């Protein structure tokens, strides 16, 4: 089994061992669904610890041994399929407070993580939604949430999710301030339907405006060939 995500490996091993015991067909789906959506009453790390313990006792019961082996990325056949684009973790640097001054204050950051969630002017982290369970997140997966009741929302979506988040805002008649590339993409017409005000936050080619983090923790400064906008979207009226 080649995979970059240890959660998936653990769940796969656990579900396979459970099949040996019960002959069940759906344990893998149930376990993975619970793990993926954090549908437990304990923190994620405690849930994974419980899986480790259960795997240990399954080895004792069925007299087999599990071995995990680190495979370098260049040798890992799963690497290109499981590695996320570093731009999914893209965030504004000091330019964020220009957006705050124009469209803030903000209470929510609805597409963030514990690493890149934005703060208020005192340095306190905003309440945030995370793509997966992340320490401190208020909720998981914005596309499964009702955001129509939220006020003072900030959102910097990955470029590939601009269209879905605009569609969600329109469908739920919600409002937010979005950071978007100034390009005439397929979602431009939806943007214009809900746009109330906008500003250019970062001009094309500006240095030290965006930062992303690779999986090994190295931070990279990103520069783009197009302007980046802050747009106040409101579909509530």
190, 174: one domain? yes
Quick one: pLDDT at residue 160?
87
DSSP 8-state secondary structure symbol assigned to residue 159 = G
129, 44: one domain? no
Peptide bond before residue 105 is cis, with ω within 30 degrees of 0: yes
69, 150: one domain? no
> Do β-strands 108-112 and 127-130 pair in parallel, antiparallel, or remain unpaired?
parallel
The residue among 82, 102, 120 that closes a domain is: 82
In the numeric block, which tokens belong to residue 33? Answer: 């669904």
60, 126: one domain? no
15, 131: one domain? no
List phi, psi (to 5°) of 156.
-120, 90
Quick one: pLDDT at residue 26?
46
Quick one: pLDDT at residue 17?
57
133, 21: one domain? no
Quick one: pLDDT at residue 12?
62
pTM of the predicted structure, to 2 decimals: 0.65
The residue among 33, 57, 82 that closes a domain is: 82
Residue 181: partners with Cβ closer than 8 Å, 6 or more residues away: 159, 162, 224, 226, 227, 228, 229
134, 213: one domain? yes
58, 101: one domain? no
Spatial distance between the Cα atoms of 222 and 215, rounded to a whole number of angstroms: 16
- Tally of structural domains, the chain: 2
Q: Are 227 and 184 in contact (CB under 8 A)?
A: no
Residue 159: partners with Cβ closer than 8 Å, 6 or more residues away: 87, 181
Quick one: pLDDT at residue 82?
58
Quick one: pLDDT at residue 49?
80
List phi, psi (to 5°) of 7.
-60, -45
Whether 1 is covered by a domain: the verdict is: no
pLDDT per residue, tens digit, the chain (237 aa), is 444 455 555 666 666 655 555 554 444 444 444 444 444 444 456 777 887 788 888 888 888 787 777 777 667 676 665 555 556 677 888 999 999 999 999 999 999 988 889 999 999 999 999 888 878 899 999 999 999 999 999 999 988 899 999 999 999 999 999 999 999 999 999 999 999 999 999 999 999 888 877 655 566 788 889 999 999 999 986
What CATH number is attached to the domain comprising 90?
3.40.50
Quick one: pLDDT at residue 91?
82
The single residue listed with the structure tokens 């060939």 is 225
Quick one: pLDDT at residue 180?
95
71, 176: one domain? no
Residue 130: which domain range? 86-234
103, 204: one domain? yes
Quick one: pLDDT at residue 5?
52
The residue among 82, 113, 143 that closes a domain is: 82
Quick one: pLDDT at residue 33?
44
């Amino acid at each position: 089994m080649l995979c970059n995500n240890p959660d998936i490996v653990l769940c796969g091993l656990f579900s396979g061992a459970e099949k040996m015991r019960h002959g069940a067909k759906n344990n893998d789906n149930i376990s993975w669904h619970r793990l993926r959506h954090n549908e437990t009453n304990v923190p994620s790390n405690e849930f994974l610890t419980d899986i480790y313990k259960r795997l240990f006792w399954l080895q004792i019961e069925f007299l087999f041994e599990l071995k995990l082996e680190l495979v370098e990325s260049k040798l890992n056949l799963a690497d290109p399929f499981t590695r996320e684009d570093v731009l999914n973790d893209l965030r504004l640097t000091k330019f964020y407070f220009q957006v705050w001054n124009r469209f803030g204050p903000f209470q929510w950051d609805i597409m963030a993580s514990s690493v890149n969630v934005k703060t208020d002017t005192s340095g306190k982290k905003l309440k945030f939604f995370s793509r997966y369970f992340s320490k401190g997140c208020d909720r998981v997966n914005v596309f499964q949430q009702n955001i129509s009741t939220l006020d003072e929302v900030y959102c910097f979506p990955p470029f590939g999710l601009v269209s879905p988040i605009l569609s969600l805002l329109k469908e739920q008649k919600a409002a937010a301030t979005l950071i978007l590339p100034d390009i005439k993409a397929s979602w431009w017409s939806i943007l214009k339907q809900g746009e109330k005000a906008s500003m250019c936050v970062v001009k094309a080619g500006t240095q030290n405006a965006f930062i992303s983090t690779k999986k090994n923790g190295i931070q990279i400064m990103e520069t783009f060939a197009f302007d980046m906008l802050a747009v106040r979207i409101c579909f509530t009226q």
